[in-house]
């Protein structure tokens, strides 16, 4: 007899969806960081959100408006239509890329996020039907087939949710996915002063502006770093565009850091 799979009911992400309580997801972060697994908490956090009909703290229910704006008026036009979304979560940033005619690979470490994203795309009628490659995978252990394979790489708010020990590796992997001539669009949170940065509880841990040098170290050239004017908060959201110059090969991503022993 064929076993029937129960269809998971994923929460709708609208104005009435409650956030997953800090008391539920923050202990997962601590537990996994202590165990030397900096990204291990995302999957149980997604599972907890689904079980409780809740949203995760980063869920907006729509594509990031700065990505939509970038696609309307690119800082630099990508040389082709192969796009990668790193840490795609529930996939809301995939839809505008599909609408612009990109062939999208959407990567996330959490299988539940990928299932949720796939189902949302099915419901919307864009990207669930085979036009998007939904991939469960680890950015910190980037598959060789993804290196240098994309004209456009979109990274939105994954890095600030990772602890310092793996951030350079994550940014290097974002850069490594960019093909010669291709571009990376990165939206992240920067701390406006080091003092403020150390006061803020994380995750997310806003990035120090100097951390962005990791993209340059990976062979990318910065074309723009944009943010709204007159920011007076401790952190500010920024949108950066980097390019891998034509004729230069992507640098292989670094080896994943080993957990502490003993
Ligand atoms: C803060 S969320 C942001 C999600 C989405 N980009 C957004 O802006 O809504 C970070 C996402 O990155 C994923 N992630 C974390 N570490 C990862 C890794 N090493 N490789 C791939 N995805 C990862 C998480 O599962 C999560 O979906």
**CB distance 3 to 71 below 8 Å:** no
Pocket of ligand 1 (CB under 6 A): 39, 42, 58, 87-89, 107-110, 113, 138-140, 156-158, 161
Vertex 236 angle, CA 205 and 49, to 5°: 50
Helix (H, G, I), strand (E, B) or coil at 254: coil
Please give the pLDDT value at position 232.
Answer: 63
d(CA 49, CA 46): 5
User: What is the CA(88)–ligand 1 centre distance, in A?
Assistant: 6
User: What is the CA(1)–ligand 1 centre distance, in A?
Assistant: 38
d(CA 158, CA 169): 12
Please give the pLDDT value at position 184.
Answer: 98
Alpha helices in 143-189 (DSSP H): 164-176
Please give the pLDDT value at position 107.
Answer: 98
User: What is the CA(172)–ligand 1 centre distance, in A?
Assistant: 15
Please give the pLDDT value at position 254.
Answer: 61
d(CA 6, CA 159): 34
From the alpha carbon of 139, which atom of ligand 1 is closest?
A: 20
Please give the pLDDT value at position 133.
Answer: 96
Q: Are strands 132-136 and 221-226 parallel, antiparallel or unpaired?
A: unpaired
User: What is the CA(89)–ligand 1 centre distance, in A?
Assistant: 5
Tell me the helix, strand and coil percentages in the chain, rounded to 5: 35, 20, 45
| Residue whose CA lies nearest to ligand 1 atom number 4 | 89
d(CA 64, CA 84): 15
Q: Which residue has the tokens 């240098």?
A: 148
User: What is the CA(231)–ligand 1 centre distance, in A?
Assistant: 26
Please give the pLDDT value at position 189.
Answer: 94
Q: 0.95 cut: is pTM over it? A: no
Probe target for ligand 1 pocket from 108, 135, 166, 189, with the most ligand atoms within 8 Å of CB = 108
Domains detected in the chain: 22-52 (no CATH), 65-243 (3.40.50.150)
Helix (H, G, I), strand (E, B) or coil at 240: strand
User: What is the CA(162)–ligand 1 centre distance, in A?
Assistant: 9
From residue 39, alpha-carbon distances to 25, 44, 166 in Å are: 13, 10, 9
From the alpha carbon of 92, which atom of ligand 1 is closest?
A: 9
| Best CA proximity match to 168, nearest among 56, 241, 110, 251 | 251
Please give the pLDDT value at position 217.
Answer: 87
Instruction: Pick out the chain residues at pLDDT < 70.
Output: 1-6, 126-129, 195, 197, 230-232, 252-262
From residue 206, alpha-carbon distances to 68, 196, 227 in Å are: 23, 10, 15
């Amino acid at each position: 007899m064929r076993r029937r799979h129960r269809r998971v009911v994923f929460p709708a992400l609208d104005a009435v969806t409650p956030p997953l309580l800090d008391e539920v997801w923050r202990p997962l972060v601590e537990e996994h960081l202590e165990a030397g697994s900096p990204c291990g908490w995302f999957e149980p956090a997604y599972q907890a959100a689904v079980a409780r009909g809740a949203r995760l703290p980063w869920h907006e229910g729509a594509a990031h408006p700065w990505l939509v704006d970038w696609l309307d008026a690119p800082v630099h036009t990508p040389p082709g239509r192969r796009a990668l979304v790193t840490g795609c979560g529930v996939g809301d940033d995939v839809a505008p890329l599909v609408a612009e005619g990109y062939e999208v690979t959407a990567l996330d470490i959490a299988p539940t996020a990928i299932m949720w994203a796939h189902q949302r795309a099915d419901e919307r009628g864009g990207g669930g039907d085979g036009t998007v490659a939904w991939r469960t995978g680890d950015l910190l252990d980037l598959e060789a087939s993804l290196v240098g394979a994309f004209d456009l790489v979109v990274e939105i708010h994954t890095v600030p949710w990772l602890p310092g020990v793996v951030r350079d590796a994550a940014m290097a992997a974002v850069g490594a996915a960019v093909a010669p001539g291709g571009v990376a669009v990165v939206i992240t949170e920067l701390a406006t002063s080091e003092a403020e940065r150390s006061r803020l509880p994380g995750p997310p841990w806003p990035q120090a502006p100097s951390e962005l040098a990791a993209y340059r170290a990976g062979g990318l050239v910065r074309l723009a770093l944009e943010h709204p004017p007159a920011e007076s908060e401790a952190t500010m959201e920024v949108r950066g565009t980097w390019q891998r110059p034509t004729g230069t090969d992507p640098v292989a991503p670094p080896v994943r850091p080993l957990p502490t022993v003993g």
